[in-house]
Structures are given as structure tokens and as C-alpha cells.
Chains A and B, each alone.
Chain A
Amino acid sequence: MPEKQSRPITMAIVAMGGEGGGVLADWSIDLAEKMGYWAQTTSVPGVAQRTGSTIYYVEFIPNDGSGREPVLSTMPTPGEVDIVLASELMEAGRAVFRGFVTPDVTTLIASTNRMYSMQEKTAMADGRVSSEEILQSCEAASKRFVGADFAKVAEECGTVISASLFGALAGSGALPWSKEEFIAAVQRGGVGVEPSLKAFERAYEIAKNPKPKSAAPVAIEIGKKPEKPKDDGLTPEQELAIINDPSSAVGPALKEHALRIAKEFPEAVRVMLVHGIKRCADYQDVKYADEYLDRLLRINSLDAERGNGTYRLLNEVARYTALWMTYEDTIRVADLKSRRRRFDRVKKEAKVKEDQITQVREFFHPGVEEITDTLPGPLGRAILKSRMTSKFIERVTKEGLRLHTTSLHGYLLLYTLARLRPLRRRSLRFSLEQSRINDWLDVIFATASEDYDLAVEVAECANVIKGYGDTHRNGLNNFNAIMREVNSLRAKKSSGAANRIADLRRAALADESGTKLRELLTTSA
């Protein structure tokens, strides 16, 4: 083996194009040369500049004063990389996959934020990779893992991730130079020094004082948790309080409903039901919350009889019944968009300062059906039937509507639309959706006594219908196609029915046009 001192320190920076990986490499080189090292960096920018994965590779070796120039590698070697800096969690995972992170040598410093891949983003449902799994791999593959949301640190300091990663690099102690020398390199760089150093300092502290291994890795906006969202999610204590006393989580108008939940429904579904009654009452009126609970009664007794006590079926039916009953129509959208909470959120998101003014513009494009949806049934049907009127509405709405919500008339329009709630019960869409819901519940009820798992799948199928306009129409078609298959499977008393429906549901969510679903329906029918 070569002598230890003759081996250069090796460092790979894995990032996406445009993230400032080059700046990070430049600071490192400048620092190393100031400290009397030979330093070499190489990169492969090319088209990788445009948000693709890219890698910068750096080697340092002390100048031995002999004038001999070392021969440094232009590419990293798996098993021989001392430091890997990753600007994002999946990129850290990629470095692990490529073998650049190894347990005997590598200090892996990674930002745990996720920039989702196109594949993750374009899925109709939840296509995200588990962050937890990547984190565990990073931990297991490295000699030392420094993981935190360095992107967030940078953003909060008004700079970019190169600054916080450089701070983490200093804090990790993986390079033999002092903090002051690192800071001096940023100062020599001369661009955005102040915010850079702020982020540097915070990241330095994070890397310097790592949390003990047993503690959960810094959990800032990471992870796939479909069951319980992080923002606004309930803590276990809050959930327990709801289970013990559902009325603790509702206002005076819903107290009776909450009492009903406590009296008539099992503990396992109470949290879901409380969400459900609030949603329905908010959407329409208090009576609507009653109708919601009524719909679930027969499923409740059936699940008690056929289920294993976890109330899996009732829970999912409770979820999707509430979501379906609160389908998105023009009134609902106007209602949600004119709330104060929403304006507060918008301002926070845009980081509006004291002396600045915000204006909000909505992008609406109601189709003919969305308009007839909210009209009283007979009128809506009449318009849909009349080609002339439909054409006229199409012409008028063709360009869509750009509503200035922060102007008086724009706000009043939304406000007025939202107040049309009482009309909804007589609307075309309302009666349509109620009968669709009832049909779906009938199938679930009938199926549950024959095949519990299949009934759960049928409940989940409601998730296939989502979105607006064409997306909604396609979803409904896909849903109907799956329901036809459910009926034929029931008739055949097929044993693998639940699995089959689960596959079809996934296929329906694989693409928008329903191509995958049609393929699957024809190939194995």
C-alpha cells in the first residue's frame, strides 16, 4: 500500500446543476491553496447545468516543498472518497449507490431536503421515495453521517446551499483547517459574504454538535408520511384527547355530532369522523354532518361484525365519504379562496415585508359543466342539452378568468359566490354526487359481507376520482370501469379479487389517460 501521507484528501460534491456546487469547489480550492496544499478540482457541467445531477471532484495534498507536482485524479474512485458533500437527499443516495460513500473512509455531509424527481412528481397519487430509507442507507454506508436540512438553513439566511454546506464541512472537522480559515475563504470569494457567513455559522454548529445517533435524524420537511401529514398534523396527545372526548375538538354547533360519535362509533375511527363532520358542516351545513354520520352507520355495524377490530374498512369509508361529499365545486373554491387564513398564508409564503404591498390574482377557468354544476338541477340540465347555450358559455369562458382577489370587486365576487351555499343542495351536481356516493356505499356494504378485503379496496377506489375538468372526468370513467370489474369479480366469487382491484387502482393512477388501466383490464380479463 502507498504510504498514508502520500495519499491526497479526496472530496466529491454531488449536486444538481445551478445549485452552486462550483462555488463550493472554488472556496475549497482557495482555502487549500492558502493552507499550502496542492489542489485540483474537476467538474462535468455541460448540460448538467440544467437541474440534472452533476458532480464536482476535488483533491488536496500538502505541498512538501520539493517543488514536485503531485499527480491527482480527475475522477473519484469508489472506496477512496474521504468526504462527500450532497446538496439533496436523493443525490446523497446516488453517491451511496455509486459506491462513493463507504463505511471505512467517508464522511457524508448531506442536506436532507428533497427535490423530487420527475417520476415522483408526475405520479397521480403518491410516488415519493421513502426519505427514511435513504437516510438509513446514508447512515449505514458512511463512516460518519452529518445530515440536516442545509437548504432550509441557507434559505432562512437568504443565501444558497453552498454556504451552509461549506459551514457543515468546516464543522464536521473532516478537513484539517480551522473555522477561521474557512471563513476567510468565503470572505475572499467576495460575493454575498454576509448572508453566506450567517448560513455558514448555523451549519457549522449543526455539524459540530451532531445529535446522538439514537435520536431521530433532524426532521425538517423530510420523509414520506402519507397517513399523517407533518404540517398542521395532530400530535399523539391531541389525538388521544379527541378519542376520549370528541366534543373537545369541535365548536358549539357540532357538539351533538361529537356526542354521537362518542356514543355510536368505536375509538379507532373517532379522529377520522371528527375531521369528517367538521369538513361536511364547513362545506354545506350542520345537517350535512348528520347525513355524513348516517351514511356510515351500516358500515359501522358491519365492520364490527366482520372486521378484526381495527375498523380498517370503516376508517377508509369515513375518509372517502367525507372527501366525496365535499367535492370541489365553484362555491367551495370561492369559499376556500376568500378566507382570511388563506390570505395570511399567501403573504407568509411570498415573504412580504412591512413596507411592501401584495396583490393576489386567481387563475380560474370554469368549463360549461362547472357552471351548470352550481345551477339548480333543471336549469343546469337544460343548458347542457341546448347546444347553443353551451356554445355561448364556452365562448364567454374560453379565455378563462384572471380574478384580482385583493381588489374590491374581485373579492366581492368570490365572497358572493361563496355565499351561494344554500343553492347547492338544489344543484345538478349535488344530486348526481349524492347518488354516486350511495351507489358506491351500496357496493361496499354488499361486498363487505362476502369479502372484507375487497370492500376495503372498493372504498379506496374513491381516490381515483380527483382533480377538475378533464382530469375529473377521466377519473370518473376509470372509477366506473373498475366498479364494473368489481361486480364481475363478485359474480365469479374470485379469490384474488382484492389484489386485482388494488392493481387496477394503481394502474388507474399511473397515467391520466387511463391507458395502463385499459391495458390491464383487457390483458387479464
Chain B
Amino acid sequence: MAERSFLQEVKKLRTGAGEEFVGEGILAVTKALLQSGVAYVGGYQGAPISHLMDVLGDSKEILDELGVHFENSASEATAAASLAASVHYPLRGAITFKSTVGTNVASDALANLSSGGVTGGALIIVGEDYGEGASIMQERSHAFAMKSQIWLLDPRPNLTAIVDSVEKGFQLSEASNTPVMLELRLRSCHMHGKFIAKDNLKPSFTLKDAIENPKQDPARVVLPPASFAHEQEKVHKRWPAAVKFIKENKLNEFINDGSQDIGIAVQGGLYNIVIRALQLLGLSDVYGNTKVPLYVMNVTYPVIDDEIVEFAREKKAFLLVEEGQPDYIEQNLHAVLRRADVATKLHGKDFLPVAGEYTPAVVTKGLLEFLKKYRPDLLAPEDALPSVVKPSAPRIKAESVHGRPPSFCTGCPERPIFTALKLAERETGKHHVSADIGCHLFSILPPFNIGATTMGYGLGSAGASALQSKDTDRATIAFMGDGGFWHNGLTSGIGNDVFNKNGTLTVVVDNAYSAATGGQDLLSSKAENEIRSTKHPIERAVRGIGVKWAKTVTNTYKVSEMRDLFIEALTKKTEEPKVIVAQSECTLNRMRREKPAMTKRIKEGKRVVKERFGIDPETCTGDHSCIRINGCPSLTVADNPDPMRKDPIATILSSCIGCGLCGEAAHAAVLCPSFYRTEVISNPNVWDRFKLLQNGIDRRLARIEAHA
């Protein structure tokens, strides 16, 4: 199991009707699924929706009671394909992943699903990883909704609104036989709030009912001529049904409409930001009582033409607040107004930034420009405007603030792999390195600067596949994490290399978890997992697919061994792929388990050895070579205690957990004799005490020496 426990959160899933649920956005969605009578849930972990998967993973009891099937899908494509269960059967199903990366992977299955349509409600919960804190390419899920005709919900960032949209999403899906995508922004997922809960609901039609009464209907399968009929059905039947449902249920909101000759149309997810901007301009209170009419699009696809025309018709102009690019909604709205022959001016990305996150600052500025043009009378005098709209220079020099990107944790077992490669390359020369997605991608940053491209999760080897040539002895290197490996890398990378006789050296970083997404288990995890099958070695898988040169290193901290293995692999060119499985447990997860256990053992009076590293300031010359091949957060610099030396010395902070990399690296790189390891033994045993006698002699010698 992942080393974190979610028992507190699991308890919240039992909140009953009328009780207040207090917690995080993504947890509220999890509860909403159970309240909606969902029959099955799948997904692939990743920020910001990992929590949904983690909590359900710990909720076996509740899921069993309700008869809900939950799985950790092998990939987003697997998750999307699992929605097939809702095609013929009235089963409500939900899947979740990080978007747009996950949606990219899922898109084949999603397209097939949307073509045939669904009977039971199918909900795709995407964590929109956009803006500050995002870790992926900046794109919009909106495009997927449009291309496959999936309805897109973008509720207000408010727990009640989000929970309602889950329930309504299922209903909309069923009313229009179309899958529905629920888009949650990064901050909405991690937002603390509350809502009034309902009881959890057992699905009325169960998985058992479906399995025992199988249905078959070629009209729902994507094969001509059904596929042509699907396209017609989409626009002539399902679309109008959706529009009808959305209008009747008032999923979009008109707020204070009719009060002014201007207005703002806004994606539901940006509602709070717009209210804050209006508040700063003196045009709303904190409860959302706005003086400017709003049209809140909690459904951003499809656009409801009638509602747009209704909102626009009596106005001079309105501003559309739509985050990200391309400006799909703005283009759509222009077309709607043109077709309806409405002359109202529509503004959007002419006043607001074309690209980038819509923070309160940029929305306030854009809104101010819009109001200055159409209704300056509504604005407060210049000097009463908020400081955010006034020009100002930073109050600190830019050079004083360095970028601080994420990096490998203290004690991370992946760092020594890159230290070893850096040292190996001193002998073998530089190589093209194709990187992958995962914590190991931090290698592209200083101090390692290793890795030229990353083409997506599990695509490390695939990204190296073209760089093969008979005219050189130099191999191409690819990195892949265990997560990416099982996601698709085994076939897309390793299998591809075997079949095409590519000589790529692939390093699979096996830290026993899908670590970057929160430490979830996967096929090759070492831990026992009550509800999953683990302990399937990666080396066995690559051998199974035809790799002959495969080696597993079980202790990545042994830098010299890793380095020698790299040199061996890189100097022996073959026409066949080579695979090194670099194995050591993710420290973050290991410490979550071991730290409390260690404290407990010390308390119980059992012998515990705690290791940490140190640097002798007297022998450190302040050149920081050790840092340049390591980069550990606990290895840093400090004032030089030597009165004659100017440069700071290297030092090790008390956060050191004694992983040993600095010692090993100093060894392997023949760096410097300043490193030492201290072992502090709590509750020493008889043998330790015997050795203590030796310590006594040492102390005496030390005294003699000091006076000599």
C-alpha cells in the first residue's frame, strides 16, 4: 500500500444526509460520486486528482457495502475504456485523471465511447493542470470536449456547486446519451470548504445485473455503417437533448441580468475571480451581489445559443472571461451573435491576456479597461482604484530572488543514478538522453543537466527511437520511471526497441511506487497490497518481451557500481536494446513508514542506529564539487569558519537522513576526504558497549594529541 493512510478522509465519506461535510474539493467529488449511486470508478493518479484515487483505495469497506467496483487503471486509456460498461447498461460510472495529459492518452477510447453514446451516466472527472503549480504542457481540455462531443462542466469553485455538478452531470449524460466531462481546476481540487451531504446511494442497477444479463447491439459499436449514424445522432438527437436539459435545469446562471447595458460572461470556474475583481473595483460585495450582470457558464460546452442571445440582446457590449487558448468559446459566441444578427459588441481576449492563468490581478485589469470604454460612470475615481491596477516596480531586485523549481528530495534514490551517469560520461563522453515523466525528470535541471527531451509518460525509450545509426559506436540513452513503464513504456518503448533492433540503453527507475503522483502502488511494488497484485519484477517483463541484456541494480546508492555498469553498457555496442532496472525505494514513502517505527523502537528500549553525514570544515576547500554532482537539499553551503578563507564551505544540514550518496559520490568521483558518516546508536547492546571501551582509548589518545 501507499505509505500514507487516508482513514480520516475515508470516515468523511460516511457523512450522512443533512450533515455538514468539511474538506477538500476533490474529496467532495468522491463523496458526491457515492451520493449519486455510482456503480464503478476507475482512473489514473496524478495531481490534482490523486486524492480521489487514494481515498477510494482505502475505502474497501464502504465500496463493498455499496457494491461499487473501483480500480486503479493501468492508464487513462484503460480508465476511459472502462466506461464501456455504461454503453448498454444503466450503470453510472466515473473515471478520473490529470488533464490534458491524461485526456490525450484516453482520447481514443473517449472518441469511441462518444460515438456510440451511453445509456448509464458516464462522468469523466479531469483535474485541469493549468496555471501556477501545473506540471505539464499548458493546454485546454475544452478541445477534447468539442472534437468528440462530450459535454463539459466547469462549475463554480465552491463545494456545493461542485457536488451538485456531479449529480447533474450524471443526469445530463443519461438525458443526452453522451459522456460528460467535469473540469476541476487545480485550486478547486485542493480547496477547503463545506457542503451539506446526502446519504450514499446503492446503484439501483448493479454490476451483477449487467454481467448476468449481457446485451449486444451492433448499432452501438463503432463500425460502418453505425459510425455514420452515430455522427447524425450526435447532432440531431443528443445535442438538442442536452440543450433542453441544461436550459430546463438552469445549469447556467443569470445574475442580476437586466440591470445594466453591459455584462460579463464567465466560465463557472472563474466566477470567484471575477467577483473578486468586481469587488476590488467597487462593483460587488463579498457575497456576489454584483452591480454588473453576469452570465455564469457552468456548462462551457455546448454553448447554449439562446441563452447567449438572451444575455447579449439588450446590451451595448459584454466581456467574456475565458481562460487559456485557443479562445474556443469566444469564437463560438461570435458565431452565435452573427447568426442571430445581434449587434452587441463582444470583448474577451482583446482586453484580457490571450494566454496564461487568469489571476485576480489580470482579470481586474482587463475588467477595468472594459468598463473604462463602456461605463466609466460606474467606476470609482482614479485614486480609489485598487493598487493592483496601478503600475508599480518590484520592491526587490530580481537578482535577489532565484528560481526554486522542485527537485529530488533529501535521500532520494534517483539522484545517485544521475550522479553515476555524470561520472560515467566523464569516461565515455556525452550521450543523447531521452527523458520521461516522473520525479526523475528533475535531472534536466542543475546540477545534473541530463535529458534532452520528454515526449510524455512512458515514452522515454520511444523518444530515443529515431536516434539510431550504424555509423557511430555511441548509444542513445533513455530514462523511464516504473510508473511510465507499466503505463505503456513496456510496449511503446522496450517492445519497440526489441522489434526494430534499436540499441538504446533504457534505464528504468524503479522506486517501488508511482512516486511523483503521491506514492501509489503499481505492478512492481515491493509491498503487500490487500486489494492489488504486486511484486511483478520489471526485469522479468522486459526479458519476457525479448530483451537479452537486462540488469537490475538493487541499491542505487552504490554510485561506483552504477557508474561501472553504465560504462559497461555504453561501451559494449550491440544491435539489441539494453535495460538497466535501477531499484531503490522512494525515500519519501520509506520515511513515512520508518520514521514513526524508529521512534517507537527507541521508546521501547530497542537498539536503533541512526545515520547521518557530515563534512569537516577544516578540510573542505569551498569548491563545492560535491554539490555539483549531487544536489541534495540537505547538502548546502555555510560561512567558512576558517578566518583566512573567503568562500563558504559545504555543509550537511540536520535534515540529512544518512542515505550515503555524498560519501559514495565523494568516493566514486575521487573528490575530497571531508565526508564522514556518524552512526548514533540508541539503546546500545553489550557489543556496542564493548566497543565503547575502544572509544575510551580513542578519547585518551585524542587528549594526548591535542596537547602535543
Cross-chain contact of A129 among B282, B400, B675 (Cβ < 8 A): B400
Chain A residue nearest to B706 in the complex (CB):
A340
Q: Say whether A180 faces chain B, with CB atoms less than 8 Å apart.
A: no
Cross-chain contact of B703 among A52, A340, A365 (Cβ < 8 A): A340
- C-alpha spacing A115/B276, complex, angstroms: 34
Give the one of B129, B408, B614, B618 with max A CB within 10 A.
Answer: B618
Q: Which residues of A have CB within 8 Å of B671? A: 365, 467-471
Given contacts A42-B191, A51-B406, A73-B273, contact A363 B667 (CB under 8 A): yes
Q: Say whether B447 faces chain A, with CB atoms less than 8 Å apart.
A: yes
Given contacts A122-B446, A122-B628, A350-B614, contact A275 B621 (CB under 8 A): no
- C-alpha spacing A363/B662, complex, angstroms: 9
Q: Say whether A438 faces chain B, with CB atoms less than 8 Å apart.
A: no
- C-alpha spacing A418/B409, complex, angstroms: 38
Cross-chain contact of A90 among B404, B623, B683 (Cβ < 8 A): B404
Q: Which residues of B have CB within 8 Å of A128? A: 637, 648
A-B contact count (CB 8 A): 396
The reply to whether A42 and B702 contact each other, CB–CB distance below 8 Å, is no
Q: Say whether A117 faces chain B, with CB atoms less than 8 Å apart.
A: yes
Q: Which residues of B have CB within 8 Å of A349? A: 614, 654, 678
Q: Say whether A258 faces chain B, with CB atoms less than 8 Å apart.
A: no
Map CB proximity to A onto B362-403 as digits: 1 under 8 Å, 0 otherwise: 001000000000000000100010111000101111111111
The reply to whether B282 and A1 contact each other, CB–CB distance below 8 Å, is yes
Given contacts A7-B286, A96-B396, A406-B695, contact A336 B401 (CB under 8 A): no
- C-alpha spacing A319/B643, complex, angstroms: 9
Near A by CB (< 8 A), chain B positions 641-679 give 641-648, 654, 663-664, 666-673, 675-679
Q: Say whether B87 faces chain A, with CB atoms less than 8 Å apart.
A: no
Q: How far is the CB of B46 from chain A (nearest CB, A)?
A: 9
The reply to whether A405 and B402 contact each other, CB–CB distance below 8 Å, is no
Q: Say whether B271 faces chain A, with CB atoms less than 8 Å apart.
A: yes
Given contacts A71-B288, A75-B187, contact A466 B192 (CB under 8 A): no
Given contacts A128-B637, A359-B681, contact A276 B644 (CB under 8 A): yes
Chain B residue nearest to A72 in the complex (CB):
B272
Near A by CB (< 8 A), chain B positions 225-278 give 271-273, 275-276
- C-alpha spacing A367/B670, complex, angstroms: 7
- C-alpha spacing A102/B684, complex, angstroms: 55
Cross-chain contact of A45 among B47, B284, B397 (Cβ < 8 A): B47
The reply to whether A77 and B280 contact each other, CB–CB distance below 8 Å, is yes
Of the listed stretches B57-65, B77-85, B131-139, name the one at the interface; the rest are far from the partner chain. Answer: B131-139
Q: Say whether A17 faces chain B, with CB atoms less than 8 Å apart.
A: yes
Q: Say whether A167 faces chain B, with CB atoms less than 8 Å apart.
A: no
Q: Say whether B612 faces chain A, with CB atoms less than 8 Å apart.
A: yes
Map CB proximity to B onto A215-257 as digits: 1 under 8 Å, 0 otherwise: 0000000000111111111100000000000000000000000
Cross-chain contact of B447 among A16, A41, A102, A122 (Cβ < 8 A): A122
The reply to whether B275 and A343 contact each other, CB–CB distance below 8 Å, is no
Q: How far is the CB of B488 from chain A (nearest CB, A)?
A: 21
Map CB proximity to A onto B558-578 as digits: 1 under 8 Å, 0 otherwise: 001000000000000000000
Q: Which residues of B have CB within 8 Å of A93? A: 396, 400-401
The reply to whether A356 and B682 contact each other, CB–CB distance below 8 Å, is yes
The reply to whether B397 and A75 contact each other, CB–CB distance below 8 Å, is no
Q: Which residues of B have CB within 8 Å of A471? A: 623, 625, 671-672
Q: How far is the CB of A79 from chain B (nearest CB, A)?
A: 4
Q: Say whether B528 faces chain A, with CB atoms less than 8 Å apart.
A: no
Q: Say whether B48 faces chain A, with CB atoms less than 8 Å apart.
A: yes
Cross-chain contact of A358 among B133, B364, B616, B680 (Cβ < 8 A): B680
The reply to whether A96 and B395 contact each other, CB–CB distance below 8 Å, is yes
Near B by CB (< 8 A), chain A positions 92-133 give 93-94, 96-97, 99, 101-102, 104, 115-126, 128-130, 133
Q: Say whether B631 faces chain A, with CB atoms less than 8 Å apart.
A: yes
Cross-chain contact of A231 among B193, B400, B639 (Cβ < 8 A): B639
Cross-chain contact of A328 among B134, B395, B619 (Cβ < 8 A): B619
Of the listed stretches B144-152, B547-555, B686-694, name the one at the interface; the rest are far from the partner chain. Answer: B686-694
Chain B residue nearest to A66 in the complex (CB):
B287
Q: Which residues of A have CB within 8 Å of B677? A: 360-361, 363
Of the listed stretches A134-142, A204-212, A378-386, name the one at the interface; the rest are far from the partner chain. Answer: A134-142
Q: Say whether A37 faces chain B, with CB atoms less than 8 Å apart.
A: no
- C-alpha spacing A234/B614, complex, angstroms: 25
The reply to whether A346 and B47 contact each other, CB–CB distance below 8 Å, is no
Near A by CB (< 8 A), chain B positions 178-195 give 185-188, 190-193
- C-alpha spacing A40/B286, complex, angstroms: 13
Cross-chain contact of B673 among A99, A226, A468 (Cβ < 8 A): A468
Given contacts A337-B616, A415-B705, contact A232 B643 (CB under 8 A): yes
Chain B residue nearest to A33 in the complex (CB):
B22
Q: How far is the CB of B324 from chain A (nearest CB, A)?
A: 15
Q: Say whether A342 faces chain B, with CB atoms less than 8 Å apart.
A: yes
Cross-chain contact of B190 among A42, A53, A69, A363 (Cβ < 8 A): A42
Cross-chain contact of B642 among A229, A333, A351, A360 (Cβ < 8 A): A229
Given contacts A78-B388, A346-B614, contact A50 B706 (CB under 8 A): no
Given contacts A77-B360, A78-B387, contact A2 B409 (CB under 8 A): no
Near B by CB (< 8 A), chain A positions 1-39 give 1-3, 6-8, 16-18, 25-26, 29, 33, 39
Cross-chain contact of B681 among A99, A340, A357 (Cβ < 8 A): A357
Q: Which residues of B have CB within 8 Å of A119? A: 402-403, 446
Q: Say whether B303 faces chain A, with CB atoms less than 8 Å apart.
A: no
Near B by CB (< 8 A), chain A positions 58-91 give 61, 68-80, 90-91
The reply to whether B287 and A16 contact each other, CB–CB distance below 8 Å, is no
- C-alpha spacing A471/B396, complex, angstroms: 36
- C-alpha spacing A10/B135, complex, angstroms: 26
Q: Say whether B285 faces chain A, with CB atoms less than 8 Å apart.
A: yes
Q: How far is the CB of A446 from chain B (nearest CB, A)?
A: 25
Q: Say whether B701 faces chain A, with CB atoms less than 8 Å apart.
A: yes
Given contacts A29-B192, A71-B271, A340-B702, contact A355 B621 (CB under 8 A): no
The reply to whether B680 and A43 contact each other, CB–CB distance below 8 Å, is no
The reply to whether B654 and A155 contact each other, CB–CB distance below 8 Å, is yes
The reply to whether A50 and B667 contact each other, CB–CB distance below 8 Å, is no
Q: Say whether B359 faces chain A, with CB atoms less than 8 Å apart.
A: yes
Q: Which residues of A have CB within 8 Å of B584? A: none
Q: How far is the CB of A369 from chain B (nearest CB, A)?
A: 10
Q: How far is the CB of A11 from chain B (nearest CB, A)?
A: 13
- C-alpha spacing A101/B703, complex, angstroms: 54
The reply to whether B401 and A363 contact each other, CB–CB distance below 8 Å, is no
Give the one of B287, B446, B639 with max A CB within 10 A.
Answer: B639
Q: Say whether B496 faces chain A, with CB atoms less than 8 Å apart.
A: no
Q: Which residues of A have CB within 8 Å of B623? A: 124, 466-467, 471, 475
- C-alpha spacing A262/B406, complex, angstroms: 54
* Chain A positions near chain B (C-beta within 8 angstroms): 1-3, 6-8, 16-18, 25-26, 29, 33, 39-55, 61, 68-80, 90-91, 93-94, 96-97, 99, 101-102, 104, 115-126, 128-130, 133-134, 137-138, 140-141, 155, 225-234, 272, 275-276, 279, 319, 322-323, 328, 332-333, 336-343, 346, 349-353, 355-367, 399-400, 402, 405-408, 411-412, 415, 418, 463, 466-471, 475, 512
Task: Give the 9 A-B CB pairs with smallest separation, nearest first.
Answer: A44-B133, A52-B406, A79-B387, A467-B623, A340-B702, A137-B396, A117-B402, A141-B395, A400-B667
The 9 sampled A-B contact pairs (Cβ below 8 Å) are: A44-B186, A45-B48, A72-B286, A73-B273, A97-B396, A99-B394, A155-B654, A339-B706, A408-B698
Apart from A74-B191, A93-B400, A471-B623, what 10 extra A-B contacts exist at CB < 8 Å? Answer: A26-B192, A46-B129, A50-B442, A53-B404, A99-B388, A118-B447, A130-B400, A276-B644, A357-B691, A408-B694
* Chain B positions near chain A (C-beta within 8 angstroms): 22, 47-48, 129, 132-135, 157-158, 160, 185-188, 190-193, 271-273, 275-276, 279-280, 282, 284-288, 359-361, 364, 380, 384, 386-388, 392, 394-409, 439, 442, 445-447, 516, 560, 612, 614, 616, 618-619, 621-625, 627-628, 631, 633, 635-637, 639-648, 654, 663-664, 666-673, 675-684, 688-689, 691-692, 694-695, 697-699, 701-703, 705-706
